[in-house]
A and B are shown apart, each in its own frame.
Chain A
Amino acid sequence: MLAFLLTLMLLLSVVIVLAYAERKVAAFMQDRLGPTEAGPYGSLQAVLDVLKLLQKEDIVPAQADKSLFKLAPILIFAAVFAGFAVIPFTPDVVPAGIGIGVFYLLAIVSLDVVGLLMAGWGSNNKYAMLGAMRSVAQIVSYEIPAGLAILSAVMICQSLDFQEISYQQGVLLHAFPGMEYETNWLFGIQALGIDTTTIGGITTWNIFRAPMLLVAFIIYFIASLAESNRAPFDIPEAESELVAGFHVEYSGFRFAVLFLAEYSMMVLVSLVAVVLFLGSWNTPLPNIGAAQLANWTTGSVGALSGNLWAAFWLLSKTFVLLFVQLWARWTYPRLRVDQLMHLCWKVLTPLALAVVLAAGIWRLLMI
């Protein structure tokens, strides 16, 4: 229960920061000022937006399928929020440290699609229905390259446990029960003869342990943009062209929940990308000779320092990825539906399959 509340509070604060950052980043990239009036530098704008939404009337259309309509936002948010349960925030803190975390995450996040369809169908509005169908088609399609990219990381790590994958990517490798005698080699190849177990830092991140995971990371990142309906894959809710997608009939608190779910999804996919590819909560600084940068910026497991450093690195990396998401949104034009499907099925999926094959061969070399 405590983990639930803590994660919820953390998520809400990150989402508020993100909503504010989105407006400011957008403004700065377009040579505007962004919000300036609410609080210092407009920092309370996002909070006030949420307060405004909460005060609004909760409208349920007379012809809507009321039970589906009312349940959908909660289901969508619950599906996304449940995904946070298996994300390790520090070496000690993981809300639910289950052994098949990756599998669970992929499964529970897919439930999101059901909620989207419920919202579209329950609204009894053809635009909402079309929006939901587009959204679902897109999410289901892009789960394949995303899943394959995750699979290649899982093959390299030989684990479905996010916490184990995290420990593998840093100097704390031996601190994880069952991995006391494991060794990290440069690029994962023992034949090179460079032991990076005690060097740590960026050299033990998954994109460094197996370089083809860098491609997998890019594939996953692109697919995750599409999965969270972010630009340049935001046809389901193209603000500049449509009123909205599946959530066109929602108002007030229910809309706020859908909004929250969308931003939570952004945070979740960034967290997963960080954990699987970018060294999770491990420091990017390696130990170089006497300068034990990795040890200094890792702290010790179980102590406060270890937890604070880990949370710091995880959140910083996540915010960098979130910034890239915003950056992409305000740079690239929206893809057409056929371009979207072309990219997914003809580019990303074959590439992801090739990466899975390469990861398998690499894993054989790593033994």
Chain B
Amino acid sequence: MEKEAYKHKTGFWQGVKSLMSGARLTLRHFANAGKRRKPVYVSDDSYFKQPDGLATLTYPYEALPVPDNGRYRLHNEMEDCIVCDLCAKICPVNCITIESVKATEDIGVTSDGTKKRLYGPVFDIDMAKCCYCGLCTTVCPTDCLTMTPVYDFAEVDIKNMIYHFTDLSPEQAQEKQRLFEKQQEEMAAAKAAALAARKQQQG
């Protein structure tokens, strides 16, 4: 096909025609203002085909859904956590702080059947430091640490960016610590008693 050079059109009627086509364009958009873009997911057929109507979403009230495997705010389901510390170890920016206390009694199992042996009096994730690499969720043996679809969690005070996931109050944590120390003492005493008894037997 032969290409024609673009010819600049001039003249009064060309001008009128061009003005009219411009006016028609904006009027068409005005007339279509009743239609709205819908907050549909990217897999929806209409996601890329919404030529008519307003493109704006009233963000806090409606938002485009995010992908399931997207990496956003972390959440730890403490019920299922065995306080193994793997996430804190793999974290490249050290944003997870975990302290553990050995349980003195049976504290049940996680939802996938793993036995829980540790209390987690401190399980803090500093989302201000987090780099959203997702390594912690990969290593988590019980899948209790997950990424949620929440991405809008700005805070005025940066301290609020530290999320505390522990299910123990400080008093409870102290109590558990005391129980653990008591058990250790008892075990040490029993051990010492047993040792003394053996020595006596030998001696």
Which A residues form the contact surface with B (CB < 8 A)?
A: 25, 27-33, 36, 327-328, 330-332
Contact = CB atoms under 8 A, between A and B. Distances in A.
A28 B29 CA distance: 7
A28 B25 CA distance: 12
Nearest to B50: A31
B53 interface: yes
A31 B53 contact: yes
B31 to A, nearest CB: 9
B156 interface: no
Given A332-B19, A332-B22, A29 B29 contact: yes
Contact of A31 (B23, B27, B55, B58): B55
Contacts of B25: 331
Contacts of A328: 23
Contacts of B27: 327
Contact of B30 (A28, A33, A36, A332): A28
A224 B25 CA distance: 24
A32 B56 CA distance: 5
Interface in B53-93: 53-56, 58
B58 A331 contact: no
Contacts of A27: 54
A159 B19 CA distance: 35
A327 B56 CA distance: 20
7 contacts: A31-B54, A31-B56, A33-B54, A33-B58, A331-B26, A332-B19, A332-B22
Interface string B25-60: 111011001000000000000000000011110100
Contacts of A332: 19, 22
The 4 closest A-B pairs by CB, nearest first: A28-B33, A331-B26, A33-B56, A29-B26
B32 to A, nearest CB: 8
Contacts of A29: 26, 29-30
B92 to A, nearest CB: 41
Contacts of A25: 30
Given A28-B29, A32-B54, 11 more contacts: A28-B30, A30-B29, A31-B33, A31-B55, A32-B55, A33-B56, A327-B26, A327-B27, A328-B23, A330-B26, A331-B25
A270 to B, nearest CB: 18
Nearest to B29: A29
Given A29-B30, A327-B23, A36 B55 contact: no
A36 B58 contact: yes
Nearest to B24: A331
A29 B33 CA distance: 8
A25 B82 CA distance: 59
B115 to A, nearest CB: 53
B107 to A, nearest CB: 50
A31 B29 contact: yes
Contacts of B23: 327-328, 331
Nearest to B57: A33
Nearest to B28: A29
Nearest to B37: A31
Nearest to B52: A31
A331 B54 CA distance: 17
Nearest to A32: B56
A28 B54 CA distance: 7
B169 to A, nearest CB: 40
A327 to B, nearest CB: 6
B106 to A, nearest CB: 55
A36 B25 CA distance: 24
A31 B54 CA distance: 4
Interface string B7-33: 000000000000100110111011001
Contacts of B56: 31-33
A186 to B, nearest CB: 27
Contacts of A327: 23, 26-27, 30
A331 B22 CA distance: 6
A107 B56 CA distance: 46
Nearest to A328: B23
Contacts of A33: 54, 56, 58
A330 B25 CA distance: 11
A193 to B, nearest CB: 35
